[in-house]
Amino acid sequence: MKKSSNRRKVAALMVTLAMMTSLLAGCSGKETTSDSNSSNLPSQTPAAQNGQQNEVSSTESTEITYPLQTDETLTIALGYESQISASYENFGDTPYAKALQEKTGVKLEFQVFADSNALNLMFASGELPDIILWGATGYQGGAQKAIDDGIIYPLNDLIDTNSPDLVKTLNTDKDYLKGSMTANGDYIGFPFIKGDLMLRSTSGLIIRDDWVKELGIEIPQTAEDFYQMLKLFKEKKGATVPFSTTSFWVDQLLDSGLITSAFGLPKATSYQKDGKVQFGFAQPEFKAALEYLNKLYTEGLLDPNYSTLDNDTMNANMMNGQSGVTVGALNGGIGNFIRTMKDKGKFSVAGISSLVANSGDKPMAGYYEFPITGLFATISPSCKNKELAAQFLNYAYTEEGSLLNNFGIEGESYTMVDNKPVFTDMITNNPEGLTMQLALAPYARSWSSGWFVQDVEYLKQYAALPQQQAALQAWSNHDGSKFVIPPVSINTDDASEYATIMSDINTYVDEMITKYIMGVEPLSTFDTDYIPTLNNMNINRAVEILQAALDEFNSRQ
């Protein structure tokens, strides 16, 4: 053991010297395009051309040349994905991993952790690989705590010289920058970024639009339209449970604001209005939303079994014509319905925007994810060559790196058509019948996650059905970004208190929502019992804590 560590030290020294020399060479003005291997690359627009204002100061335009000249190996840990292990015993055997090593010039050793338990054990044992891809903001106490506890090495002194492309990426959107840093101004790591709004609005209301056409009505926009449509579905289309959904999705209905906009409420969970934190379920407008759902329930328009329904039955209802409306996601919902019902007679579904108060309004919210998901590739303090790690990870934010991560390997998983990457038939129409996800899995990362910016072009080809494209349009039609609370970090002292208060409150609210909708509890108690109980449970303290975190986030940079 000792021998090899000595050797590693020497090698590290040599490589560092070599790298420093090559960096100096780069700085002398030679414009190098990275990667001599790949042939048909689109014309390289040097990243420096973007002409953005560098928030992170750098005196010289640094550019990293790939492949890096190094003999070192970096260890990376990823979460287990059986889409990969279905065909590859080691992640390093995948075409993606091989291409990544080739293009960056760095040898990689992949480790896999089975789940969050295994990850936490890895932390507890103190033996960390050089790089870890994980949900750093989910660490107990937040990413700052992870840094303080010696799990993450912040990028502050690495990022300028070693990761210029990451810097450029972060500077394109202030949310990217803020979401990748802690309160102290520490850079957490290399983030997974969902670039386009469309990538983050992937679920919502789904209706039988063929029925809508047959009935000669319009796609509903207001709550009243929606109600009338359900009635028609029941009376004219024989739908016994026109709106069939599960408890989970009813929560989504409210939490994501799919119907609450119609009542003047962005959504039922926490949101911010002009910088002020509010909990939707504690607002008076929420009562109106519950009354509406209760009306649907008592008139038999909302599935009376919804509280006990499971996903399978919900889907079956939709496919058998028992229901005409449900809530679902892009692939598991719309994609699944269309594909399953392909040759089974007249059937069509469409995603529709969240309901609004008046026709023509823009919904206040819909299903929405923040662009920075909290997933980061972090460098560990124990990494022996952090500069190398930072340079290696930077590759993904270059144009080439983006292509590799989003589309895979040219000639195999995609080809360039009019200078745009297009998935090959092997991916979109796999001869062995594999789904697109399974076909793409060995070649790229866009189907899952990683440390790169997810390209919306990928989604446009991945979810290629016209209904899916239209649904994405409809579902991303909302102002959710105005109201969403960004990934703030609640400070360590308050985090436990917040979780304790919220777990009580969430339990109570979930319970009461079901009781109000089902009429087990009369809505008159909303003001007399429900709100006072929330106050008793210290909801105001929770607002206080969250507000402090939001204020702190907004004050960054």
Partner 1 sequence: MKNMNSGAKAISGKSSLKDYLSGYNLFSYFNYIFLTIIVLVTIYPAYYVIVASISDPTELQRHTGLLLAPVGEITFAAYKLVFKNPMVLSGYMNTIFILVVGVTINLIMTIIGAYFLSIKNVMFKKYIMLFIIFTMYFSGGMIPGYLNIRDLHMLDSIWSLIIPGALSTTNLIIMRTAFVSVPDSLVEAAKIDGANHLKIMMKVMVPLTKATLAVMVLYYGVGHWNSWFSASIYLRSPSKLPLQLVLRNILLANQSGGMTGGVGLDEVSQLSDLIKYALIVVSTAPILVIYPFLQKFFTKGVMIGAVKE
Partner 2 sequence: MKRNYGAYLLVLPVILYYIIFAYKPMYGAIIAFKDFSPGRGILGSHWAGNYGFEHFISFFNSYFFGRTLKNTLVISLSSLLFSFPAPIILALLLNEVKNKFFKRAVQTISYMPHFISLVVVCSLIKLFTADTGIVTYFLSMFGYDSGAMLSHPDLFVPVYVLSGIWQHVGWDSIIYLAALSGIDQSLYEAAKIDGANRWKQMIYITLPGISITIVILFILAIGGIMNVGYEKIILLYNPGIYETSDVISSFVYRKGLLESNWSFSAAVGLFNSVINFFMVVVFNKLSKKISGISLW
Question: Residue 295 and residue 301: Cα distance in Å, rounded?
Answer: 8
**Alpha-carbon gap, residue 280 to 261, rounded angstroms:** 11
348-407: which residues touch partner 1 (CB under 8 A)? 369, 373-375
**What long-range pairs does 318-323 form, CB within 8 A, spacing at least 24?**
318/206, 318/208, 318/244, 318/349, 319/347, 321/237, 321/238, 321/239, 322/239, 322/240, 322/241, 322/244, 323/233, 323/239, 323/240, 323/241, 323/242, 323/243, 323/244
The window from 9-17, 456-464, 524-532, 534-542 that contacts partner 1 (CB under 8 A) reads 456-464
Cβ distance to partner 1 smaller for residue 330 or 488: 330
Site for partner 1 in 68-107 (CB under 8 A): 79-83, 85-87, 89-90
The answer to whether the CB of 127 falls within 8 A of the CB of 383 is: no
Distance CA 437, CA 92 (A): 19
The interface region with partner 2, picked from 22-30, 220-228, 333-341, 503-511 by CB under 8 A, is 503-511
Is the Cβ–Cβ distance between 317 and 553 less than 8 Å?
no
- Member of 420, 520, 528, 540 binding partner 2 (CB under 8 A): 520
Residues 300-359 that bind partner 2 (CB under 8 A): 304-305, 307-308, 310, 312-313
Stretch that binds partner 2, among 7-15, 140-148, 255-263, 426-434 (CB under 8 A): 140-148
Instruction: Name the one range near partner 2 by CB under 8 A: 58-66, 257-265, 294-302, 492-500.
Output: 492-500
Q: Which two tokens stand for residue 68?
A: 């890096």
**For residue 375, how many C-alpha atoms fall within 13 Å in the half-sphere facing its CB?**
19
Closest CA to 333 of 514, 459, 472: 472
How far does the chain reach from its first CA to its final CA, in angstroms? 45
Polymer length of the chain: 557
Q: Which two tokens stand for residue 324?
A: 């005409």
Among the listed ranges 407-415, 421-429, 443-451, 484-492, the one in contact with partner 1 (CB under 8 A) is 443-451
* CB 151 to partner 1: min, Å: 15
Two tokens, residue 347: 């059937």
Q: Which does 319 bind (CB under 5 to 8 A by kind): partner 1, partner 2, none?
A: partner 1
Residues near partner 2, by CB under 8 A: 116, 120, 123-124, 126, 138-141, 145-146, 148-151, 247, 304-305, 307-308, 310, 312-313, 495-496, 498-500, 502-504, 506-508, 510-511, 513-515, 518, 520, 537
Residues near partner 1, by CB under 8 A: 79-83, 85-87, 89-90, 111-112, 114-115, 117-118, 120-121, 124-125, 135, 192, 194, 199-200, 202-203, 312-313, 315-317, 319-320, 328-333, 335-336, 339-340, 369, 373-375, 435, 437-438, 446-449, 454, 459, 462-463
